[in-house]
Amino acid sequence: MEINKLSHLLKISEVAEILSVHRNTVMGLAKQSYKRLPLIKISPRNYRISEEALIGFIEGRKASEESKDFYKSRVEDVKNKKK
């Protein structure tokens, strides 16, 4: 993986903040095969999720377009907060 791609990886806590859920819920979503949220394992206790995968997960959910747009804007908010 290229170094510049690493900057687009979100921590589990950031994903939980975006989705307004607990971090354990994010880990549970990653473990469920029918709602797969792809994790990237950095080390034994350190996982990341790419922004693209998170947006794909949000778009794949059965939700209104307003709801999807809301969560996509939260991805941008967290991304901007990191800068």
Tens digit of pLDDT per residue, the chain (83 long)? 444 455 588 999 999 998 889 999 988 888 775 567 788 888 888 888 888 888 888 777 766 677 767 777 877 777 777 66
For the chain, give every domain's residue range: 3-82
pLDDT of residue 13: 92
pLDDT of residue 7: 56
Closest CA relative to residue 16, chosen from 76, 68, 75: 75
pLDDT of residue 22: 94
pTM of the full structure: 0.66
